[in-house]
């Protein structure tokens, strides 16, 4: 697979990464662990080198899964993980309590290294901005970990532009992660310009809209009771019905290009900037293979103009998160 550099950091990764969260949480039914290890092996064998996890996924078990799966390939791959969400004594996520205190960052780094079975974290993101800890202190704590040889690169997730600037002034930020797709284009409102100015790479998560932009979900699709999408305003049946117009646009365009709906959605993202590396998640080999082909789908300037013009005429309904979660972002 083609490679890309995240900003001007020197960190080279495959043009698409693999988001591993859904292997351990959020989208049900959960897959078999052994099957996911095999899937990660298949991804590496096909040229994927960039894998995304976090301590909070599971929690903890996703890092263990990714670490075990990538152990035979450790020198060939880049592993990104994250700190910053509060986790209570029962191992549950505490959404209303972030924790990016420097001493806690150090504790998480050591625990993540152990779970991943490695001696260095390639890319260490702050998962969400902690309003109680100055970002300069966070950047300084990660800088200390870099000096200690435990971390190679610093990243931020769902951070606003002023936070990014302040962090970058202390410790250069290699990558910023946020949602971005034709379904969610807020990063175009200033974020992408700042990343380009500072030489920071961009890693869009949910580049397929949690599955919606694959064309395999419609207003009649039902999800398992504990599937995260049941809580997302954008996934109510009414919103899905209204938002189907965007999927129809992608599907029509895909037919003309000899591609799938998902491939066009990913190819559009890849065409925005050469330092953008989407991380679609999947638990199926067929979807992994389909997604990887997107890196070879060429969209011309006319193609992009046509897609952008048509998409801008479609009014997307429903929020991407429940209000409580959206308020935790810095966007």
Average pLDDT of the chain, as a whole number: 95
Query: CB pairs under 8 A, 24+ apart, for 303-311?
Result: 303/253, 303/257, 304/268, 304/271, 306/253, 307/182, 307/249, 307/253, 307/264, 307/268, 310/249, 311/182, 311/246, 311/249
pTM: 0.95
Q: 331 lies in a domain? A: no
Q: What percentage of residues in the chain have a pLDDT greater than 90? A: 91
Q: Is the pLDDT of residue 261 over 70?
A: yes
pLDDT band at residue 313 using 50, 70 and 90 as cut-offs: very high
Q: 319 lies in a domain? A: yes
Q: 32 lies in a domain? A: yes
Q: What per-residue confidence (pLDDT) applies to 90?
A: 60
Residue 284: give the domain boundaries: 3-326
Q: 114 lies in a domain? A: yes
Choice among 57, 73, 125, 321 that is catalytic: 57
Are the C-beta atoms of 180 and 329 separated by less than 8 Å? Answer: no
Residue 235 DSSP symbol: G
**CATH code for position 188:** 3.20.20.100
Total domains present in the chain:
1
Instruction: Provide mean pLDDT across the span 55-67.
Output: 96
Instruction: Provide mean pLDDT across the span 82-95.
Output: 72
Specify the range with the lowest mean pLDDT, choosing from 94-98, 175-179, 225-229, 292-296. Answer: 94-98
Residue 125 a catalytic site member: no
The CA angle 38-114-85, to the nearest 5 degrees, is: 90
For the chain, the helix, strand and coil percentages under 3-state DSSP, each to the nearest 5: 45, 15, 35
pLDDT band at residue 97 using 50, 70 and 90 as cut-offs: confident
């Amino acid at each position: 697979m083609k490679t890309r550099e995240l900003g001007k950091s020197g960190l080279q990764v495959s043009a698409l990464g693999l988001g591993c969260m859904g292997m351990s949480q959020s989208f049900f039914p959960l897959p078999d662990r052994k099957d996911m290890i095999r899937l990660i092996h298949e991804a590496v064998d096909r040229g994927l080198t960039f894998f995304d996890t976090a301590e909070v996924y599971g929690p903890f078990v996703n890092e263990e899964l990714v670490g075990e799966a990538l152990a035979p390939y450790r020198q060939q791959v880049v592993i990104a993980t994250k700190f910053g969400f509060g986790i209570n004594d029962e191992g549950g996520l505490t959404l209303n309590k972030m924790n990016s205190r420097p001493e806690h960052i150090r504790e998480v780094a050591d625990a993540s290294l152990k779970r991943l079975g490695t001696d260095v974290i390639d890319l260490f993101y702050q998962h969400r901005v902690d309003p109680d800890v100055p970002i300069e202190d966070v950047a300084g704590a990660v800088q200390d970990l870099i000096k200690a040889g435990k971390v190679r690169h610093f990243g931020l997730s769902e951070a606003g532009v002023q936070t990014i600037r302040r962090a970058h002034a202390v410790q250069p930020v290699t990558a910023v992660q946020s949602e971005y797709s034709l379904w969610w284009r807020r990063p175009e409102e200033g974020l992408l310009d700042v990343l380009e100015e500072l030489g920071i790479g961009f890693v869009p998560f949910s580049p397929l809209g949690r599955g919606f932009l694959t064309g395999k979900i419609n207003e009649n699709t039902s999800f398992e009771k504990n599937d995260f999408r049941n809580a997302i305003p954008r996934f109510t049946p009414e919103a899905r019905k209204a938002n189907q117009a965007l999927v129809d646009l992608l599907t029509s365009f895909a037919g003309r290009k000899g591609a799938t709906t998902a491939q066009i959605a990913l190819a559009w993202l890849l065409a925005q900037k050469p330092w953008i590396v989407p991380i679609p998640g999947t638990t199926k080999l067929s979807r992994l293979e389909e997604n990887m082909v997107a890196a070879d789908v060429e969209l011309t300037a006319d193609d992009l103009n046509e897609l952008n013009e048509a998409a801008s005429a479609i009014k997307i309904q429903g929020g991407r998160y429940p209000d409580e979660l959206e308020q935790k972002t810095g966007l």
